[in-house]
Amino acid sequence: MHASRLEIGDYVTANGNGACAEGSYTSAVEYSHAEGSGTSTSNKFEHAQGRYNISHKNSDVFGDVGNTLHSIGCGKGGTGIGNRQNAVEVMQDGKVFIKGIGNYDGTNPTGQENAAQDLATEINSLHRVWSDEPGLPSNRYVDGNRQLGYAAKTWTRSDTGAVYQYRGYNASTSTHSWYADSNTYLTYNKNTGEIKSNGYLIATVATGIDPWRTKFEPIVYEPS
């Protein structure tokens, strides 16, 4: 133990004032805290826990989108694939990344819309239109439950203004698709119930829905 830093455990290193490293094989930089096994920090005010996390550092400016603020490591250790990765990573700008949600694989928090906040925006945009026409994902609350069905052939996202046109059904993949343009699309897989935006999973609903049904038949899938 030192006057301005704290080391508890085996093979731990606290580097600089206010650093705290505990557990085994952990390393913390100035004014940060690393605990667990094989965890490390690279930014001031950062906290790492779990096992073999990844800490990202883009600059010394607090609030940088590329700097990790908190991580829960789920790495396997060693030198192979999965050596270091995160189950959860929070960046200094407040964005939250969860492994397996969106395109975040536990290592890549920047450069694409993977954050939980971005995916929440995608999901919310699917729940702002109500219609009884054939073709479109839409919902309403009935008896305290959120209900999903498919209505109009075209629909407009309220957050982006993008107009999606129903493209059709691919029997080989059991997938219906809607396109706003060649690079912006939604798909629904009848077998898995997965709704994806540009290939990224944003929701899982009931299976076997036919978007062209002429009468709305709600499917209860999420209690309020």
The percentage of residues in the chain with a pLDDT greater than 90, rounded to a whole number, is 36
Distance (Å) of CA 99 to CA 47, 85, 87, 112, 207: 18, 9, 5, 14, 24
Q: Are 138 and 203 in contact (CB under 8 A)?
A: no
Note the pLDDT tens digit of each residue in 99-121: 887 778 899 887 555 677 776 66
pTM, entire model: 0.57
Largest CA distance in the chain: 73
Average predicted confidence (pLDDT) for the chain: 76
> Where is pLDDT greater, at 117 or 146?
117
Question: In whole angstroms, what is the distance from residue 211 CA to residue 204 CA?
Answer: 15
Question: In whole angstroms, what is the distance from residue 71 CA to residue 47 CA?
Answer: 7
Q: Where are the alpha helices (DSSP H) in the chain?
A: 116-125
Note the pLDDT tens digit of each residue in 166-199: 777 787 888 888 888 878 888 888 889 888 888 8
Amino acid at 69: L
Note the pLDDT tens digit of each residue in 48-89: 999 999 999 999 999 999 999 999 999 988 766 569 999 999
> Where is pLDDT greater, at 131 or 162?
162
